[in-house]
Amino acid sequence: MKITQEADYALRIVLNLSKLGMDNRIDAKSLSEEERIPTRFTLKILRKLTQGGITRAYRGVHGGYALNQNPQDLNLKIVIELIDGPICVNRCVYDKEFCNLKRTNHCSIHHVLGEVKDLLTDKLESVNFKDLLEK
């Protein structure tokens, strides 16, 4: 019931860039030092964020990264799912192949874990990075 360390780092990276604002960039090395994330790992995460449209990369001398969207349009769920994949709680909810529903047409575990998933998803979606900055 955890997000990966990589997703955790990604949240911190996006928060850092949110502080800077969309118009300012920072290079991966400085960012990694500020956030205490291994530099190469930071690069890898930034690549995913860039491919996912969350950040924007500038190459060459004085290059770096900046947010590609307004902080208020980015929330925890978007970042976590980009890195970790969809939030799913258990495989029964995610993949019906593994679910009793197939056999018995009823699976109360499925049902309640679906509720848990929805609750979690809604909460993560409700927190955007503008909110986080203001805390």
Partner DNA sequence: CTTAATTTATACCTATTTGGTATAGTTTTA
Partner DNA sequence: TAAAACTATACCAAATAGGTATAAATTAAG
Q: Give the nearer residue to DNA in terms of CB position, either 8 or 130.
A: 8
Give the whole-angstrom CA distance, residue 128 versus residue 125.
Answer: 7
CA contacts within 13 A on the Cβ side of 15: 16
Q: Which of a copy of itself, DNA, none is residue 47 near (CB under 5 to 8 Å by kind)?
A: DNA
Give the whole-angstrom CA distance, residue 39 versus residue 33.
Answer: 7
Place of tokens 């993560």: 124
- Residue 126 tokens, joined: 């409700």
Indicate which single residue of 5, 30, 39, 51 sits in contact with a copy of itself (rule: CB under 8 A).
5
Contacts with DNA in 5-34 (CB under 7 A)? 5-6, 9, 27-29
Q: Give the nearer residue to a copy of itself in terms of CB position, either 34 or 58.
A: 34
Q: How many CB atoms lie within 10 A of CB 71?
A: 22
- Does residue number 60 form part of the binding site for DNA (CB under 7 A)? yes
Binding residues for DNA, per CB under 7 A? 4-6, 9, 27-29, 37-41, 43-44, 46-47, 50-51, 57-65, 84
